[in-house]
Amino acid sequence: MSKPQRETCSSGPVCGPEGLEPAPSERAPKSKAVVASQAVIPAADLKPLYDFTLDCRACQAKLAAAQADLTDERAKTAVLTRERDEAVRVAKGGSVLRRVARNAKWLAIGAAAGAIAAKSHR
């Protein structure tokens, strides 16, 4: 069974002092293999690491909120862009095909009226 991967902060190290313990005392004898595989962090350094962890988690929460806001704003912008394009199309008189058809109809009506007027004038 593998351990789940933990998220990292944007500044690099893994957030939080989880699993970190203060430096062992001189009285507790340990084998060399155990001592070599463990990191020794002095107790005085745990407070700044813990503060960093809290700051990191706060920044992650702010980042998540900002990304959610950005997604919402992009959706709103897309909707407004579609509405604007639709309004411009309607203001021009419809789609290009519809305008061509309308103009062709009036061209045909004008040509017919001109032909009738030319015949009646002779």
pLDDT tens digit sequence for 7-53: 555 555 555 555 555 555 556 555 555 556 788 888 888 888 889 99
pLDDT at position 69: 97
Is the model more confident about 9 or about 103? 103
Q: Evaluate whether 8 touches 57 at the Cβ level (below 8 Å).
A: no
Measuring CA to CA, which residue among 6, 25, 2, 24 is closest to residue 14? Answer: 6
The single residue listed with the structure tokens 């040509």 is: 111
pLDDT for the residue numbered 1: 47
